[in-house]
Structure 1
Amino acid sequence: MLQLGDEAALYSVVFLATLLGTRSPTWSCLVAVSVYCFLAVPDARARQVLRPGPRAAAPIAHRGGGHDAPENTLAAIREASKNGAEGVELDLEFTSDGVPILMHDETVDRTTNGSGPLSQISFSELSKFDAAAKHRLSEKFSGERIPTLEEAVEECIKLQLSIYFDVKGHPDEAAAALGHLYRKHPVLYNTSIVCSFEPKVIYRMRQTDPEVVTALTHRPWSMSRFGDGAPRFASLWKHQWMTLVDILLDWAHHHFLWKLCGVSAFLVQKNFVSPDYIQYWAQRGVQVVAWTVNTAVEKQYYQELLQVNYITDSLMEDCDPHY
Structure 2
Amino acid sequence: MLQLGDEVTLYSVVFVVVLLGTRSPVWTTVLTASLYLFLAVFRFPQLSANRARQVLHPARSTVGSGKVSVVAHRGGGYDAPENTIAAIREASKNGATGVELDVEFSADGVPILMHDDTVDRTTNGSGPLDQMTHSDLTKLDAAAKHRLWQKFPGEKIPTLEEAVKECIKLHLTIYFDVKGHPNEATAALKDLYKKYPVLYNSSIVCSFQPSVIYKMRQSDPEVVTALTHRPWSLSRLGDGTPYFSSSWKHFWFTLNDVLLDFAHHHVLWKLCGNSAFLIQKNFVSQDYVQYWAQRGVEVVAWTVNTKVEKEYYHKLLHVNYITDSLVEDCEPHY
Q: TM-score, normalised by structure 2?
A: 0.87
Q: Cα deviation per residue 1:100-152 (whole Å; 9 max; x = unaligned)?
A: 00000000000000000000000000000000000000111010000000000
User: Residue in 1 aligned with 2:20?
Assistant: none
User: Residue in 2 aligned with 1:267?
Assistant: 278
1:40 has 2:40 as partner: no
Tell me, in whole angstroms, the C-alpha distance in 2 between the residues paired with 1:140 and 1:32: 51
Q: How does 1:1-323 map to 2 (within 5 A)?
A: 35=42, 38-52=44-58, 53-55=60-62, 56-323=67-334
Tell me, in whole angstroms, the C-alpha distance in 2 between the residues paired with 1:74 and 1:152: 6
Change (3 A) 1:205 1:111: same
- Could you list the structure 1 runs, at least 4 aligned residues long, displaced by more than 2 angstroms after superposition: 2-10, 31-36, 53-56
Task: Tell me the matched-pair count.
Answer: 305
Displacement of 1:57 in angstroms is 1.3
User: Residue in 1 aligned with 2:17?
Assistant: none
Which is further off, 311-320 or 51-60?
51-60
Superposed CA RMSD: 2.2
Tell me, in whole angstroms, the C-alpha distance in 2 between the residues paired with 1:43 and 1:172: 28
List gaps (5 residues or longer) in structure 2.
11-29
Q: Which amino acid aligns with 1:142?
A: P
Q: Which amino acid aligns with 2:105?
A: F
Change (3 A) 1:221 1:8: closer
Displacement of 1:76 in angstroms is 0.1
* % identity of equivalent residues: 71
Tell me, in whole angstroms, the C-alpha distance in 1 between the residues paired with 2:68 and 2:305: 14
Tell me, in whole angstroms, the C-alpha distance in 2 between the residues paired with 1:46 and 1:220: 25
Q: Does the 8 Å CA contact 1:291/1:310 hold for their aligned counterparts?
A: yes
Q: Which amino acid aligns with 1:159?
A: L
Tell me, in whole angstroms, the C-alpha distance in 2 between the residues paired with 1:33 and 1:270: 31
Q: Does the 8 Å CA contact 1:3/1:285 hold for their aligned counterparts?
A: no
Per the alignment, in what secondary structure is the counterpart of residue 125 of structure 1? helix
Q: Does the 8 Å CA contact 1:3/1:40 hold for their aligned counterparts?
A: no
Tell me, in whole angstroms, the C-alpha distance in 1 between the residues paired with 2:92 and 2:274: 27
Tell me, in whole angstroms, the C-alpha distance in 1 between the residues paired with 2:7 and 2:254: 33
Displacement of 1:156 in angstroms is 0.1
User: Residue in 2 aligned with 1:25?
Assistant: none
List gaps (5 residues or longer) in structure 1.
11-16, 22-27
Displacement of 1:5 in angstroms is 9.3
Q: Which amino acid aligns with 1:242?
A: F
Q: Does the 8 Å CA contact 2:74/2:324 hold for their aligned counterparts?
A: yes
